[in-house]
Amino acid sequence: MTSTVLLAEDDRAIRDSLVRLLTLEGYQVTAVADGIQALAAIHKEHPDAIVLDVMMPGIDGLAVCSVLRAENDRTPILMLTARVETSDRVAGLDAGADDYMVKPFETDELLARLRALLRRALPLPVPADPPSTQSVHPADGLIEVGDLRIDPTARRVWRQDIEIALSRTEYDLLELLARNAGIVLDHSTVYDRIWGYDFGPGSKNLAVYIGYLRRKLELPDAPPLIHTVRGVGYSLREP
């Protein structure tokens, strides 16, 4: 089945180039030039994925993303931005984006990230033998690690009975770590399981998402759950 993509980009040259690229790759593409048109097209066509420029007239990409997430629209969103500062990237994640790319970008990488976002609609595999630090309750399907509780069916997360709102990527990353609690997952494994593509040692994608997830899981007097093993990867374990 052909995947549908909504492309929102106000620069005509970039927009036309991306339409040609995505069409040649077999996607069915709807292209618009601003945020107002983007929301109208998304509500009408319900695309499989959205490629969204940040800087657009009328309603910018961050606002479009925030509106969709407020409507509980979980369509995967890849943000395109000319901004390189970490604070700007965090703003995109805060708005609910699943991934971002800084312009100028390599077209092969954009296609790889888009394929990864579309693959992530599939559920994460469950290990046959969960680690001993993880508690799985077959009756209700919950995953518990210390005071962290995850409901995979509803994609909801609590710590100390306080519900924590996560973006799609943050949730997928946390569930992966929780299902492998006590195990150190290396960078390549996480990239492959969450993004479906290893962006290499120079990428900061994973570190940004780990940092953002840590901040959301922080509670007063609560010890950290996610630990860095320098040069290897990350592990989630009970305090």
Q: Is 140 exposed, middle or buried (0-12, 13-18, 19+ CB in 10 A)?
A: exposed
**Mean pLDDT value across residues 186-207:** 79
Sequence-distant (6+) residues with CB within 8 A of 175 are 124, 143, 150, 152
What confidence tier does 156 reach under pLDDT thresholds 50, 70, 90? very high
| pLDDT greater than 60 at residue 133 | no
pLDDT tens string 64-88: 998 998 888 889 999 998 876 666 6
Residue 226, classed as helix, strand or coil, is strand
**Mean pLDDT value across residues 89-101:** 77
| pLDDT greater than 70 at residue 101 | yes
The reported pLDDT for the residue numbered 87 is 67
Parse the chain into domains and list their residue ranges: 4-119, 135-236
| pLDDT greater than 50 at residue 123 | no
What confidence tier does 2 reach under pLDDT thresholds 50, 70, 90? confident
- Per the prediction, the chain carries an average pLDDT of 85
Q: Which CATH superfamily is domain 4-119 in?
A: Response regulator (3.40.50.2300)
Indicate the fold that domain 135-236 takes in CATH: Arc Repressor Mutant, subunit A (1.10.10)
| DSSP sequence for 95-106 | HT-SEEEESS--
What confidence tier does 11 reach under pLDDT thresholds 50, 70, 90? very high
Q: Pinpoint the alpha helices (H) of the chain.
A: 12-24, 35-45, 61-70, 86-95, 107-119, 168-179, 187-190, 205-217
Ramachandran class of 170: left when φ > 0, alpha when ψ lies in -120 to 50, beta otherwise: alpha
The reported pLDDT for the residue numbered 138 is 44
Report the candidate in 211, 209, 233, 217 with the shortest Cα–Cα distance to residue 100. Answer: 209
**Mean pLDDT value across residues 122-131:** 45
Sequence-distant (6+) residues with CB within 8 A of 106 are none
Across the strands, what pairs with 77? 50
